[in-house]
Structure 1
Amino acid sequence: MKNKAKWGLVALILVSLAAWGVYSSLPKENKELAAADKISKGKTNKNILNVNAIVVKPQTLSDEIFINGSLLPDEEVD
């Protein structure tokens, strides 16, 4: 490849990466929120937003391993 062709290819790759970065950082419409806004607007003109949530309960975490057999390495060190 000639020198100009190499720099042209590098410039094309850099411009495409920059365009992809700008496109990915633009805000996008959330379809679920838009649908909830359309449904919730009624006679009262109040916006009701549906929420999906998970309730997390605290519990103890045991850091134990139960195995049958032995834990011996299969390798040797010289």
Structure 2
Amino acid sequence: MRLLNIVSSPRGADSVSISIVNAFLDAYHRTCASVEVDTLNVWEENLPDFDSEAIGAKYKGVSKEPLNSAELSVWNRIQSLEEI
């Protein structure tokens, strides 16, 4: 089994939520030794900007609605991320 642990607190070692998750993962691993934990720390990744304009373009693009030129530019950028 694989489990995705998303670290979203910027506080790192000072984060209570990270400490709680780590305690859970340690306990879970003791009961299910075969679990593989993949951790994604959003503060260490080079993630693209995703604002309200991008979410609007995404909804229109997925729904096959017409996009204006700005939305089309954002939608093309979003789609290019699939190729990475």
Q: TM exceeds 0.5?
A: no
Q: Comparing both structures, which one devotes a greater share of its residues to helix? A: 2
Q: TM-score range by the shorter chain?
A: under 0.3
Higher relative contact order (CA 8 A, sep 6+): 2
Which entry has the higher C-alpha Rg, 1 or 2? Answer: 1
The TM-score normalised by the length of structure 2 is 0.23
TM-score (norm 1): 0.24
